[in-house]
Chains A and B, each alone.
Chain A
Amino acid sequence: MSTTEYAYLALALIVAAYVLPRFRFSVLWAIVTPLLACCLYVAMRVSGLAIAQAASAAVFLFAYTLIALEKIHKTKVALAGAGAMLLFGLVDQQTALHGQGDVEGTDWNTIFLLVGMMIIVSVTRHTGVFQWIAIKAAKLAKGEPVLIIIFLCVVTAVLSAALDNVTTVLLLAPVTILICESLSLSPVPFLICVVLASNIGGTATLIGDPPNIMIGSSAKLSFVDFLIVDGPIAVVVLAVYLGTLWLMFRNKLKVTEEARRTVMEFDETKAITDSRLLMRCGTVIGLVLLGFGLHGALHLEPATIALCGAAALLLIRREDPEDTLREVEWPTIFFFVGLFIMVSALVKTGVVRMIGEGIITATCGPDMGAGVALTLAQKTNLTLGVCWFSAIASGIVDNIPFVATMNAVIHDMAVSLHPDAAGADFFQVAHAPDILPLWWALSLGACLGGNFTLVGASANVVVAGIAERSKHPISFVEFMKYGIPITLQGIILSSIYLWLRFLR
């Protein structure tokens, strides 16, 4: 440990301590900062961490805490954390952006897949098709509240599987509230059920939920892989969920005949604003989904297909691309970039390896040397451990930073459990029989775990915002009354499924 390194560490802490708490100097922080530095130094000596490891872990934990506390916007935190990692030389820019050796770097496949899909969705949302679908569902239910909930959940799940969850709920929620207003029912249970369905539906496909996009890209799993592994269990979880809703609401929601007539008076044909554009969007989305289905066979990355779809829609639409591109959720994109850079620093400094070894020791016992094959019991422990841990962690904090880290951890575990294959094609290592179930456990845990609490997934937060504006706020506890049992149900079913499919 050189003096320069100490200087860097001290500087890092001072910057973090002064700059982040709302850019205000206070005497308290002047005292806390040296104390923090001392504590870190002691912790480092005790744990035997190297200075770079301690520094990268500290920056990451600090950022993670700030993201969880939600006092500062998560994109600002992620970019500041990434800046700190680069500034203090914990990872160099070349490695952080393009990867090198075992360090994956920024996952541009994920970034461009997200951007591409956001462009496609931002054009489609203006056609009014989402409103059309929601009204159609309510009318099919003949205004019967419990059937409305179930039908809305089905369409939400299907749309969330094909598009992203946030847009789906953002566009379905207003109509859901309108339908509740006409039935004189509180929209709160309807909204909660819709958002739960959206997270379940998103689990089913590669593009359904951001965690799946990241896992698919990191583990080299294709759209079809997701459809045949995550798809069936998502359908089962959804079916059990809908059955639960039927039992819960069947005798609870009563409405008058007149209210039901009001629902039938909604005119869905008038919800469509631009039927020409809708036809074109439908064609492009259909082709993009077909492309995803064939991307393995065509040897094209999913991002390529999404970008081509986006480009086609931009060309078709005569309007200025500026307006369409403005609707891309750039803060989310930069949040991903910041996270990828931070995680690449954790990989580079070896923190990720230590987490991986810790997880293996915790689930498989202390004697796991490199290259030793896992027994079935160890494999089961490891897989189910990852699944449940992912679910709980995703309920407490945003699942995106969690998955970004876990991807790197599993990546590293794969390499350390198969040292003989290292240097060979990573595809083989990532798809080894003891590694493959881990990706699926992570995917199921992280996607379904988002339902645990109101802050577990971005879609939950968005719906809470809309509910607040409609004067029917969703409380944290109210959400958990539905979220916890439904999530437990989903994770238990997933565990059984993982066991049946991979662990026997």
Chain B
Amino acid sequence: MVAPLLFYQVCQGVQRMVARDIMNQDVVTVRVTDSIRCAAHKMLEAEYAALPVVDDEDQVVGLLSETDILALTLPEYLHSVADLGFLPKSLQFPAPGARDLDTTKVGDILRTDILEVVEADEPVIEVVRLMVTQHVRRCPVVEKGKLVGIIARRDLMQIIVRPTIEANPEQ
């Protein structure tokens, strides 16, 4: 089945808008040199699913997600195993010391190959495309590589979906 373009009309309405118009300028960022403890703390406090990572010159180099943090509980060689239900409950993985929370840096675990960003003057529909086809949850907005804001899926829901529902009340 081809999904109908239920929200297309409003898309037309926001068609003239660009990323800059809808982005959130108040961004919580982490630095490449931040420790995992610091990054996880920021993520827990800010309640965002992912935080943009910047280097010393405020250039966006990646997006640190909850998935990246959770991945630190699962040894990488087990990623290819189809089902881990067989593991005995008594099995203990060799645990690193608490110190490693501070010595491991964001840069050590950050995947820089899958970063998707939009330029501030790109149309909103491009942001929608990234969210839909590239499974991006939060999309950093940049100008010349420098972070200027961020757009979350929820922001798009508010801008595109809510007005449509409210403009077309249930009959």
Q: Is the CB of B82 within 8 A of A126?
A: yes
Q: Is the CB of B81 within 8 A of A265?
A: no
| Shortest Cβ gap from B97 to chain A (Å) | 14
Instruction: Give 11 A-B contacts (CB < 8 Å), ordered by A residue.
Output: A126-B82, A127-B82, A171-B80, A178-B87, A181-B94, A265-B88, A265-B90, A271-B85, A271-B86, A466-B77, A469-B77
Q: Does B113 contact A (CB under 8 A)?
A: no
Which B residues touch A268, using CB under 8 A?
Answer: 86
Given A182-B91, A262-B91, also A177-B86 (CB < 8 A): no
Which A residues touch B86, using CB under 8 A?
Answer: 131, 135, 266-271
| Shortest Cβ gap from B84 to chain A (Å) | 9
Count chain A residues whose beta carbon lies closer than 8 angstroms to a beta carbon of B. Answer: 30
Q: Does B78 contact A (CB under 8 A)?
A: yes
Interface of B is mostly: loop
In the complex, the chain B residue whose C-beta lies closest to that of A465 is B77
Give B contacts to A, CB under 8 Å.
75-78, 80-83, 85-91, 93-94
Q: Does A470 contact B (CB under 8 A)?
A: yes
Taking A126-B82, A268-B86, A271-B86 as given, write out 16 further A-B residue pairs in contact, using a Cβ cutoff of 8 Å, ordered by the A residue number. Answer: A127-B82, A131-B86, A135-B86, A174-B77, A174-B78, A174-B81, A177-B75, A178-B78, A178-B87, A262-B88, A265-B90, A265-B91, A270-B83, A271-B85, A273-B83, A469-B77
| Shortest Cβ gap from B148 to chain A (Å) | 33
Given A170-B80, A262-B90, also A470-B75 (CB < 8 A): yes
Q: Is the CB of A178 within 8 A of B83?
A: no
Which B residues touch A466, using CB under 8 A?
Answer: 77
| Shortest Cβ gap from B68 to chain A (Å) | 16
Give A contacts to B, CB under 8 Å.
125-128, 131, 135, 170-171, 173-175, 177-178, 181-182, 261-263, 265-273, 466, 469-470
**Partner pick for A265 among B75, B77, B89, B93, CB 8 A cutoff:** B89
| Shortest Cβ gap from B102 to chain A (Å) | 19
Q: Is the CB of A267 within 8 A of B94?
A: no
Q: Which 7 A-B pairs have the closest CB atoms?
A: A265-B88, A270-B85, A469-B76, A470-B77, A271-B86, A270-B86, A128-B82
Measured CA separation A270–B88 after assembly (Å): 11
Which A residues touch B75, using CB under 8 A?
Answer: 177, 469-470
Q: Is the CB of B80 within 8 A of A267?
A: no
